[in-house]
């Protein structure tokens, strides 16, 4: 059975690595691990990831999302059928239909409309625009819409995506995920000082969010400030002791700083969290 990498998730679903990590951490998917301990996703995982993201953006409660995703997994085949699939979500009600069937969506706003198919051996996931509810006037999109728009733009127009991330945090200054992705994209584009400023502003607005602190630590390492990076990583672990990637980065950083005992401790924690050490 074919599996997919994190990069495949980015390409097919247009989800950033941070978003994917958040969805895994929330327990919406439980990907397997490859030979190098990297995440590997099944076809079902891909569809569940994209559906979970739509329901989160729509402010559906985590309990309802989990119930919906459990039902979704029961409806999904193990692998992609030749006829394709049509998936829609209205509220927290998710419907899966064979790709040859006529797709009908109830009147009113729906949160997700996906056509999933294989073209030339490559899995394609095409999202249909959200349909406005009948009689509902067009208004400024809520923060969730800015979030999805920015993710969609990252691959094709990163400068536009930066503008949308900025708009997202203007709309909701306490949206930690939007700040995190804005800083990450700036960092990826080599705009490190701007990214550092975004992380400082974000932490002042939302407080010690573990993923913000983790990303800040990665940036500080790239800026040649290992002491500050250590502080950021440790603050991240104070908020979330099970942040496996943070333990891994600390192990690597401590080894580079000539502190093997510290490195071994964090590497052991990392292996425990990712299931590579049963002790």
- Report the pLDDT value the prediction gives residue 103, as an integer from 0 to 100: 40
Q: What's the count of helices (H) and strands (E) in the chain, helices before strands?
A: 12, 6
Closest to 226 measured CA to CA, from 261, 250, 207? 250
- Domain with 251 in it: what CATH number? 1.25.40.10
Q: Which one is predicted more confidently, 143 or 103?
A: 143
Least confident of 57-66, 109-118, 259-268: 109-118
Distances (CA, A) of 98 to 87, 130, 204: 9, 21, 48
- Residue 265 burial by CB count (10 A; 0-12/13-18/19+): exposed, middle or buried? middle
Residue 148: per-residue pLDDT: 63
191 and 102 inside one domain: no
Q: Is the pLDDT of residue 279 over 60?
A: no
Sign of CA dihedral 258, 39, 124, 95: negative
| 138 assigned to some structural domain | no
Q: Are residues 149 and 122 in the same domain?
A: no
* Whether residues 113 and 208 fall in one domain: no
Please state, in angstroms and rounded to a whole number, the distance separating the CA atoms of residues 182 and 196: 11
59, pLDDT greater than 50: yes
Q: How confident is the model at residue 31 (pLDDT cuts 50, 70, 90)?
A: confident
> How crowded is the C-beta side of 110, counted as CA atoms within 13 Å?
20
| Residue 20: inside a domain | yes
Any domain includes 264: yes
CA distance 178 to 205: 12
Q: Give the highest mean pLDDT range of 4-18, 98-112, 135-149.
A: 4-18
Q: 163-172, 198-207, 259-268 — which is least confidently predicted? A: 163-172
* Same domain as 117, residue 169: no
Same domain, 159 and 270: yes
By three-state DSSP, how is residue 158 classified?
helix
Question: Max Cα separation, the chain?
Answer: 65
Same domain as 195, residue 255: yes
Distance, in Å, from the CA atom of 48 to the CA atom of 78, rounded to the nearest integer, reads 12
Judged against a pLDDT cut of 50, whether residue 215 lies above it is answered with yes
User: Which of left, alpha, beta for 121 (phi over 0: left; psi -120 to 50: alpha)?
Assistant: left
- What percent of the chain clears pLDDT 90, i.e. is strictly above it? 24
Write out the residue range of the structural domain in which residue 238 sits.
145-274
Residue 150 in this model has a pLDDT that exceeds 80: no
Phi-psi group of 90: left, alpha or beta (phi > 0 → left; psi -120 to 50 → alpha; rest → beta) = beta
Q: Give the CATH number for residue 110.
A: 1.10.1660.10
Point out the least confidently predicted range of 62-71, 96-105, 245-254.
96-105
Burial of 90: CB neighbours in 10 Å, binned 0-12, 13-18, 19+: middle
- The residue among 44 and 56 whose pLDDT is bigger is 44
**279, part of any domain:** no
- The continuous run of DSSP H or E covering 33 comes out as strand 32-33
Tens digits of per-residue pLDDT, 110-144? 456 666 665 555 556 666 554 443 333 334 444 44
How many angstroms separate the CA atoms of 178 and 42, rounded?
Answer: 27
Q: Which of 185, 118, 125, 174 is nearest to 150 (CA)?
A: 185
Query: In this structure, is residue 137 part of a structural domain?
Result: no
- The tokens describing 30, both together, are 């439980």
* Number of domains the chain is built from: 2
Partners of 124 in beta bridges: 117
pLDDT at position 109: 41
* 161 in the same domain as 119: no
DSSP letters spanning 83-116: T-EEEEEETTEEEEEETTSPP---SS--SEEEEE
The verdict on residue 42 lying in a domain is yes
The whole-number pLDDT of residue 228 equals: 96
- Please say if the pLDDT value at position 275 is more than 70: no
CA distance 30 to 40: 9
**172 and 269 fall within a common domain:** yes
Same domain, 268 and 151: yes
């Amino acid at each position: 059975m074919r599996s997919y990498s994190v990069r495949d998730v980015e390409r097919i679903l247009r989800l950033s690595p941070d978003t994917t990590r958040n969805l895994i951490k929330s327990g919406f998917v439980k990907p397997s691990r490859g030979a190098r301990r990297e995440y590997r996703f099944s076809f079902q995982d891909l569809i569940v990831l994209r559906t979970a993201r739509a329901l989160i953006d729509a402010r559906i409660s985590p309990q309802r999302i989990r119930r919906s995703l459990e039902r979704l997994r029961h409806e999904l085949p193990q692998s992609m059928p030749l006829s394709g699939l049509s998936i829609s979500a209205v509220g927290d009600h998710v419907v899966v239909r064979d790709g040859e069937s006529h797709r009908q969506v109830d009147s009113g706003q729906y949160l997700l409309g996906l056509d999933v198919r294989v073209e030339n051996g490559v899995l394609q996931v095409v999202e249909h625009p959200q349909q406005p509810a009948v009689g509902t006037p067009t208004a400024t999109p809520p923060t969730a819409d800015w979030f999805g728009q920015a993710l969609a733009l990252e691959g094709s127009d990163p400068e536009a995506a930066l503008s949308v991330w900025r708009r997202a945090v203007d709309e909701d200054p306490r949206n930690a995920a939007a700040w995190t992705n804005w800083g990450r994209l700036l960092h990826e584009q080599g705009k490190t000082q701007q990214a550092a400023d975004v992380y400082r502003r974000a932490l002042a607005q939302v407080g010690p969010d573990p993923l913000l602190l983790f990303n800040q630590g990665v940036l500080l390492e790239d800026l040649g400030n290992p002491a500050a990076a250590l502080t950021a990583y440790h603050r991240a672990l104070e908020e979330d002791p099970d942040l496996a990637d943070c333990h891994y980065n600390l192990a690597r950083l401590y080894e580079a700083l000539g502190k093997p005992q510290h490195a071994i401790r964090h590497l052991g924690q990392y292996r425990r969290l990712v299931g590579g050490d049963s002790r």
